[in-house]
């Protein structure tokens, strides 16, 4: 009897160790942070030296664009921090609301409304960022920027298609 218990415990420890050693879901592909430019290639790349050089952004024009975009980014960062605080509070309240029958949902619903307003404000900032870029570029620079953006979009689509094909081929 003792031997079978010992073998069972060893097997249990081995299985537990094996389970703990498994990578978490989506390992190797971290969740992108929530920012104004999370999925906005233009916003992420317009101030890179390569993009600025290719489009012909220089001097005062580049400095003005950079200052305006940095101000928008600062506003977006403040909003994101507010959303994160609200989301943490929402999670705390959700535990109480879900575990206590009859608990009031008024406060959690108010938080959800505030988070929704903040997300709307983030969307407006993302659009404002694109409008600032549009307004600061000349017609020739906008044309060059559109060409670069279209080429990047084609490259990214081809890359995603190749990744999808590789996943489908994988066992």
Give the start-to-end residue ranges of the domains of the chain. Answer: 34-169
Q: How far is CA 134 from CA 96, 141, 145, in A?
A: 48, 9, 10
Report the distance separating Cα 70 and Cα 66, nearest Å.
6
Q: Which residue has the higher pLDDT, 4 or 17?
A: 4
pLDDT digits (tens, 9 = 90+) for 99-157: 888 888 999 999 999 999 999 999 999 999 989 999 999 999 999 988 988 898 899 89
Q: Which two tokens stand for residue 63?
A: 């400095």
Q: Which two tokens stand for residue 38?
A: 């999370």
pLDDT digits (tens, 9 = 90+) for 66-96: 999 999 999 999 999 999 999 999 999 998 8
Q: Are 82 and 76 in contact (CB under 8 A)?
A: no
Report the distance separating Cα 77 and Cα 166, nearest Å.
36
């Amino acid at each position: 009897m003792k031997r079978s218990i010992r073998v069972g415990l060893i097997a249990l420890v081995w299985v537990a160790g094996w389970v703990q050693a498994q990578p978490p879901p989506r390992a190797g592909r971290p969740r992108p942070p929530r920012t104004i430019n999370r999925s906005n290639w233009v916003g992420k790349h317009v101030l890179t030296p390569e993009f600025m050089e290719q489009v012909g952004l220089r001097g005062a024009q580049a400095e003005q664009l950079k200052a305006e975009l940095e101000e928008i980014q600062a506003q977006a960062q403040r909003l994101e921090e507010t959303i994160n605080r609200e989301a943490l509070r929402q999670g705390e309240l959700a535990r109480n609301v879900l575990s206590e029958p009859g608990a009031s949902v008024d406060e959690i619903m108010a938080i959800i409304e505030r988070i929704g307003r903040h997300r709307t404000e983030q969307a407006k900032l993302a659009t404002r960022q694109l409008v600032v870029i549009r307004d600061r570029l000349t017609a020739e620079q906008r044309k060059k920027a559109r060409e670069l953006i279209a080429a990047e979009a084609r490259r990214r689509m081809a890359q995603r298609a190749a990744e999808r094909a590789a996943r489908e081929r994988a066992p």
